Amino acid sequence: MAEVINKQVLLRDYVSGSAKESDMIVTSSTTKLKLPEGSKGVLVKNLYLSCDPYMRGRMRKSNLSSYVDAFKPGSVSPHTSTYSFICLPPNDFDLKTLQPITGYGVAKVLDSGDPNFKEGDLIWGITGWEEYSVINATRTHFKIHHTDVPLSYYTGILGMPGMTAYVGFYEICSPKKGEYVFISAAAGAVGQLVGQFAKLAGCYVVGSAGSKEKVDLLKNKFGFDEAFNYKEEPDLDAALKRYFPEGIDIYFENVGGKMLDAVIQNIRDHARIALCGMISQYNHEQTEGVHNLMTLVWKRARMEGFLVFEHYHLYPKFLEFLLPNIKEGKIVYVEDVAEGLENAPAALVGLFAGRNVGKQVVVVSHE
């Protein structure tokens, strides 16, 4: 039975404060390219991996700030064997019990004990940050049928981030033509899509981002009506009043903290706020509080959080809506591509410093 080297990214230890590249370790192991007898899982070769902000919450030992379980340094990985470290681990690491971190990705099926998947299928869903993975829980994995678009799109526009934008904007915010829409972190994987959806719906759209390059991208590529660099705005309340003199109907929240406070002060009657994420808070041990909540009462506004995987039943409807818009050029998408699994830690950490322009993707293999 063939054995291959399997490069992997592991969590060194639980993280407090700002995440660093050194919190992760790049290793190699050997693995067999065949499932164990009787396995009901699938063996895959990973092609593309998705860097997503929620993964920061999984690096905490106490994972109260996240909706998924924490990564567990030292938990058992049954399908790997001998490890050789590219970066040396702490002395108390047990080399036999380490497993890679996990996240969304695109992969090719090499062997399957699951009747829903066969050798050669392309799939997207949760997989390991490694070259080869065994996936035992396939209930929320999707077979890729449309390959006339880049496969990497299934880490973004046609995957979890795309569904997040679709659900948050259409299902949570229920937009109406002519409404005023504001999106924070608007040049990211989700925000760039929400803005384009809002324009398709006939809304006035403003986005915030963290650099001139991103602001130009929002206005010139994604078609936002206006955009601003929040780092150049000492008074966010004043900035929002400048761009929304009549107030905000819809806010798609990706940032939290001071930005959310400023938005609440500028909402219109019956405004809707979709709570998607709060990236400004993920590296904080003590998160910032939110004020002005009474405004939600007298404005009769609604602020609602959502988890995209509770809406995956809408995926066929989502594809039916989005694929024609992509092919007709009505929706465009920008990716920030890191080549090679060894560059995955830097790519992930870069999200929290705003280094990525567009959806951050890691290419593991092109075939």
- In a 3-state reduction of DSSP, which class is residue 115? coil
Predicted confidence at residue 88, as pLDDT, reads 34
- 252 beta partners: 183, 274
- Contact assessment for residue 279 and residue 256, using Cβ atoms and an 8 Å cutoff: yes
d(CA 99, CA 11): 8
**Chain centroid offset of residue 314 CA:** 18
- 253 beta partners: 275
Residue ranges matching CATH 3.90.180.10 in the chain: 3-156+335-363
The DSSP letter of residue 74 is T
d(CA 46, CA 37): 22
pTM exceeding the 0.85 threshold for the entire prediction: yes
- Domain made up of 3-156+335-363: CATH architecture: Alpha-Beta Complex (3.90)
Indicate the residue type of 105.
G
Outline where DSSP puts E strands in 117-256.
122-128, 132-135, 142-143, 180-183, 204-209, 226-229, 248-253
Given the DSSP bridges, would you call strands 204-209 and 226-229 parallel, antiparallel or unpaired? parallel
Backbone angles phi, psi at 49, to 5 degrees: -120, 145
User: Which fold would CATH assign to domain 160-309?
Assistant: Rossmann fold (3.40.50)
What are the C-alpha distances in Å from 245 to residues 116, 189, 237, 268, 295?
53, 28, 11, 10, 17
d(CA 300, CA 1): 65
Predicted confidence at residue 2, as pLDDT, reads 74
- In a 3-state reduction of DSSP, which class is residue 312? helix
- Burial code of 326-343, b = ≥16 C-beta within 10 A, e = fewer? beeeebebbbbebeebeb
Residue ranges matching CATH 3.40.50.720 in the chain: 160-309
d(CA 54, CA 278): 9
Predicted confidence at residue 84, as pLDDT, reads 35
List per-block mean pLDDT (blocks of 10 residues) for the chain, which spans 367 residues.
88 88 91 91 96 89 66 54 35 54 96 95 96 90 95 97 97 98 95 98 97 96 97 97 98 92 97 90 70 93 95 96 96 96 96 90 93
User: Tokens standing for 357?
Assistant: 């322009």
Neighbouring C-beta atoms of residue 237, cutoff 10 Å: 16
- Contact assessment for residue 100 and residue 130, using Cβ atoms and an 8 Å cutoff: yes
